């Protein structure tokens, strides 16, 4: 039963952090949260420990527990990692298609509706939906690459990247161009062209990294 409560507290707090309901540096009062969620403090404490392990929460000695504030430099470093991981995941999945382990047409039918959905949600006030579909798209590629080490490394920073997209997508990302890039990625992977898939996946992530670097220079 405690585990069920802990899971519920974890998922709720995680969702609030990723979607901006809990802002960076916001304090997390275990007793207040437990009262809101109508549970004891034990599952809430367990949930916060998991969020700390995810890198979304930080405990500052003699000060308290807070939603982690990511600097632009932190986010740039995260995207340096994601860029490399994404390129390799695309490469490996295209290799699997070329080897006949994955049906390219089936993969195309799986990924294309997500990109179609992104194209239907290009407006600024639809950026959160767009970002969620983008996340699903890339998660499928990582899951189907069949390299658990690469996938787990990506998942370790995925939520941080989600928080980045929720911040920069509405203002800075050319979402229509990103949709075109997603379609090119699908075509390369479905054709089994591993090198092209790698380059496209890396270039796709590099655009966001360059946006972050420009923002850092403007500070």
Beta bridge partner(s), residue 27: 66
117-136 pLDDT, tens digit per residue, is 999 999 888 888 888 899 89
50-101 pLDDT, tens digit per residue, is 999 888 899 998 899 999 888 888 888 888 999 999 999 999 999 999 999 9
Residue 192 and residue 59: Cα distance in Å, rounded? 46
C-alpha closest to that of 161 among 132, 141, 202, 123: 132
Residue-level pLDDT at 192: 98
- What residues contact residue 132 under an 8 Å CB cut-off, 6+ apart? none
Backbone angles phi, psi at 27, to 5 degrees: -75, 150
149-206 pLDDT, tens digit per residue, is 999 889 888 877 776 666 666 677 788 999 999 999 999 999 999 999 999 999 998 9
Written in H, E and C, the secondary structure of 52-110 is HHCCCEEEECCCEEEECCCCHHHHHHHHHHHHHHHHHHHHHHHHHHHCCCCCHHHHHHH
Residue 118 and residue 42: Cα distance in Å, rounded? 40
Residue-level pLDDT at 131: 85
pTM: 0.80
């Amino acid at each position: 039963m405690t585990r069920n409560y802990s899971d519920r507290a974890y998922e709720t707090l995680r969702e609030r952090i990723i979607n901006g309901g809990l802002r960076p540096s916001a304090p997390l009062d275990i007793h207040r949260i437990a009262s809101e969620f109508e549970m004891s403090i034990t599952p809430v404490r367990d949930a916060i420990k998991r969020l700390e392990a995810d890198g979304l929460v930080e405990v500052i000695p003699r000060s308290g527990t807070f939603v982690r504030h990511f600097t632009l430099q932190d986010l740039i470093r995260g995207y340096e990692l994601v860029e490399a991981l994404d390129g390799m995941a695309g490469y490996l999945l295209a290799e699997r298609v070329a080897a006949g382990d994955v049906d390219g047409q089936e993969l195309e039918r799986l990924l294309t509706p997500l990109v179609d959905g992104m194209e239907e949600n290009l407006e600024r006030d639809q950026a959160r939906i767009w970002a969620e579909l983008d996340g699903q798209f890339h998660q499928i590629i990582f899951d189907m690459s069949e390299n658990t080490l690469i996938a787990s490394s990506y998942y370790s920073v995925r939520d941080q990247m989600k928080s980045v997209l929720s911040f920069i997508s509405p203002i800075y990302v050319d979402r229509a161009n990103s949709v075109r890039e997603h379609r090119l990625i699908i075509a390369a992977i479905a054709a089994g062209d591993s090198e092209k898939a790698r380059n496209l996946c890396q270039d796709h992530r590099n655009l966001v990294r360059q946006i972050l670097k420009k923002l850092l220079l403007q500070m």
